[in-house]
């Protein structure tokens, strides 16, 4: 029987291995948000950048988990399509399934998830188009390429509800991780990671 705190079971130890610093900054923002809401023991959600992509990030996540004294109870690996072909993405899915890892995937990049905090998305963007758009006044109002990796709190903290709603809507139309673009499945997983229905 699990011990309980405030009538909730103690949360699992979860590790999110990320492709880069933008993802780390974002998931740490969510950790701060949900710590205040007391939905989860957010100290049990570990976020780490591996500075890798595709099969390389999955293999490195496995190496790090294998070398831990105590393995994570759940492992998420967050990365983008970038220039990967469909067969390379399929290989990543197969590897993650074999290890029991969950993929947090965005196509073409993580910035599609960031954009969903501001508006619905129904068309494809290149990385350059996303960076230019997010640099605009109604978004970050600064050079987003230089901003990446900094704290998102000021810009996105109170917009996670919108991102969740817009992300769920996108997933209804674009549900194929391997081939769809735009695509992101982050909206379907953040509630599980942070044990919340409040976004």
Q: CA 169 to CA 97: how far, in whole Å?
A: 25
pLDDT score for 42:
64
Q: CA 62 to CA 24: how far, in whole Å?
A: 18
What percent of the chain is modeled with pLDDT above 70? 92
**CB contact set of 14 (below 8 Å; sequence gap of 6+):** 44, 45, 46, 72, 73, 74, 75, 76, 193
Full pLDDT tens readout for the chain, 199 residues: 333 334 444 468 899 999 999 999 999 999 999 887 765 666 789 999 999 999 999 999 999 999 987 789 999 999 999 999 999 999 999 999 999 999 999 999 999 999 999 999 999 999 999 999 999 999 999 999 999 989 999 999 999 999 999 999 999 999 999 999 999 999 999 999 988 888 8
Segment (H or E) for 106? strand 102-107
Domains and CATH numbers, the chain: 11-194 (3.40.50)
pLDDT score for 196:
86
Q: CA 110 to CA 49: how far, in whole Å?
A: 14
pLDDT score for 157:
96
pLDDT score for 198:
83
pLDDT score for 71:
85
């Amino acid at each position: 029987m699990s011990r309980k705190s405030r009538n909730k079971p103690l949360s699992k130890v979860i590790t999110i291995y990320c492709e880069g610093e933008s993802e780390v900054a974002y998931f740490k923002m969510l950790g701060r948000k949900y710590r205040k809401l007391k939905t989860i023991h957010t100290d049990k959600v570990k976020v780490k950048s591996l500075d890798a992509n595709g099969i390389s990030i999955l293999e490195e996540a496995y190496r790090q988990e294998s070398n831990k004294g105590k393995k994570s109870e759940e492992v998420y690996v967050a990365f983008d399509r970038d220039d990967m072909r469909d067969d390379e993405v399929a290989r990543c899915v197969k590897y993650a399934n074999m290890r029991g890892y969950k993929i947090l995937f965005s196509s073409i990049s993580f910035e599609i998830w960031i954009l969903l905090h501001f508006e619905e998305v129904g068309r494809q963007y290149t990385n350059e188009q996303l960076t230019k758009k997010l640099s605009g006044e109604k978004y970050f109002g600064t050079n987003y390429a230089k901003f990446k990796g900094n704290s998102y709190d000021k810009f996105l903290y109170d917009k996670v509800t919108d991102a969740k709603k817009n992300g769920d809507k996108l997933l209804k139309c674009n549900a194929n991780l391997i081939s769809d673009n735009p695509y992101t499945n982050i909206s379907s997983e953040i509630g599980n990671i942070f044990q919340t229905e409040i976004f």
